[in-house]
Structure 1
């Protein structure tokens, strides 16, 4: 088998590797209920994910007509406690994802995660879903002091994975902006958690299913 053109392939987590919206929605709405604010429909939460838990809570409160940092700080531990206890109750890997990860690993690619989720929560999710041996490197939104779209987390992810030629896979404008800032080629998913049409994300390539990932990476290396 010919050598694969990338040494490292890094992935966003929420909305890219897995549909985590059901559990994030449950945690957000539990928190909003505890604070006495209206819950948010699951479909709306999908467009709020990607900037970390505090940003999600901030947007959830804003949807109910309140924007108050003191309330965000009050709700944050409520959110974390609930989400940690229910982190993978209803979340699931996107179709074809695990097969694509297996194929990349079989070709000698180091798999890594670069997410704005808190690192401890990302590791907890990976363990809960049975992926603890797939990803030797996870960089979270709190790991290096800044979060995406700053390129530092992605660059740190690649460095900790051993360096070499790398690509990034994501689902949002945050991911594509991060990749561009890091000068790393990027593939975006037409599914996942978007706040705009996928064609407007600015990725190098756009795929509709994980079955297309490895051919897309090979084309990207072109």
Structure 2
């Protein structure tokens, strides 16, 4: 197999799409049905990054439910029943589709590594048209490990036939994943990050996807040199 010279792996939530509105709505539909106080949008946004199970754990803590495993499983199932449909309120970040098209034209091999469960990931990829660009995917269901364990990221990279890759993400989880994988990391600053940029592992920083193709071109030119 020929190793692609330019390989990029993307995170999904907070990087390619802003899914916080749909996650917030699904969480509050569960809480409303349970007769519990709803969480704010800011709370929901801060709970994103380590998968649906962690999000529900944080929701339970926020409304004083504790951490009973059976209750967690029940509420997670209810949450997923609300969330697994078409993403009605999720938005693609500005410039993403154009950037993916430009990267494809540059000959980049691209994949996805996300902590989002498999079914909503597949729906989002199809709904927004990302599936034509992102040939290999690791979701929360692909391996036993999830980010920040580097295993899913390395899995996607290997599926793409690459020995190295540039990882693009938005969060503390993504930065730790890239660092543990020993890969360069491009940090998108408009996602769900809470930590100052200077305190996170990163190789590059960008705040609009219009900037990404030139950043990628420069990165792989430097690697080749």
Matched, 1:137 2:153: no
Unaligned runs of 5+ in 1: none
2:128 and 2:26 map into 1 onto residues whose CA distance is 18
The count of corresponding residues between Structure 1 and Structure 2 is 217
CA-based RMSD of the aligned residues comes to 1.6
2:22 and 2:5 map into 1 onto residues whose CA distance is 33
Deviation at 1:119, TM superposition (A): 2.0
1:6 and 1:45 map into 2 onto residues whose CA distance is 39
CA contact (8 A) 2:179 2:201 kept: no
Equivalence for 1:151: 150
**SS of 2:183 mapped into structure 1:** coil
CA contact (8 A) 2:17 2:93 kept: yes
Deviation at 1:208, TM superposition (A): 1.1
Deviation at 1:81, TM superposition (A): 0.9
Aligned pairs (5 A) from 1:195-214: 195-214=194-213
Equivalence for 2:169: 170
Equivalence for 1:75: 75
**SS of 2:46 mapped into structure 1:** coil
Instruction: Tell me the TM-score normalized by structure 2.
Output: 0.91
Distance 1:46 1:76, change over 3 A: same
Instruction: Tell me the TM-score normalized by structure 1.
Output: 0.92
Matched, 1:60 2:69: no
1:177 and 1:112 map into 2 onto residues whose CA distance is 18
Matched, 1:182 2:181: yes
Equivalence for 2:30: 31
CA contact (8 A) 1:171 1:194 kept: yes
